[in-house]
Amino acid sequence: MASSDPDCLFCKIVAGVVPADIVARTDTAVAFRDIDPQAPTHILIVPVDHQPNVAATAAANPALAGSLFSMADSVARTEGIGERGYRLVANTGAGAQQSVFHAHLHLLGGRSFTWPPG
Ligand code: AMP
């Protein structure tokens, strides 16, 4: 049984209580467009199970954490950015600018990127 936090924004999106532009869904994960896109394609991949960050998801359920990367690649290909390349970001902790404390990957693509990131 997946855990859920009634005060968590992404749990509310997963449950359909807060609307979002959902692009993919499985029993265990949901992908939806970021409300403040930082690239032409900016999609969030979130597990249904509430954990505060992807490290916690990986500790609780390594297979689920791995499946987030598979879903990200699948969505990237559907969005037409799989060939050119894309960036996956998992801000982990407030010091890394994480603002929503429900595990998620950012899938970013459709523009050029620089390194190191800002
Ligand atoms: P992070 O700062 O890494 O925790 O990422 C959280 C992301 O959630 C940010 O990129 C926000 O723009 C995004 N976000 C916040 N509220 C919503 C929402 N209601 N629907 C979609 N994305 C959101």
> Is the whole model's pTM more than 0.75, yes or no?
yes
Q: How confident is the model at residue 11 (pLDDT cuts 50, 70, 90)?
A: very high
Q: What is the pLDDT of residue 24?
A: 98
Name which of 6, 87, 93 is nearest 55 in CA terms: 93
- Rounded average pLDDT over 69-73: 98
Q: What is the pLDDT of residue 97?
A: 96
Which amino acid appears at position 77 of this protein?
A: R
How many angstroms separate the alpha carbon of residue 63 from the centre of ligand 1?
A: 24
Q: Is 73 in the pocket of ligand 1 (CB under 6 A)?
A: no
* Domains, the chain: 9-109 (3.30.428.10)
Placement of tokens 């939806």 in the chain: 32
**Residue 106 catalytic?**
no
Return all residues near 71 (Cβ < 8 A) that are at least 6 apart: 24, 26, 29, 31, 45
* Each residue's pLDDT tens digit, 92-104: 999 999 999 999 9
Beta carbon of 99 within 6 Å of any ligand 1 atom = yes
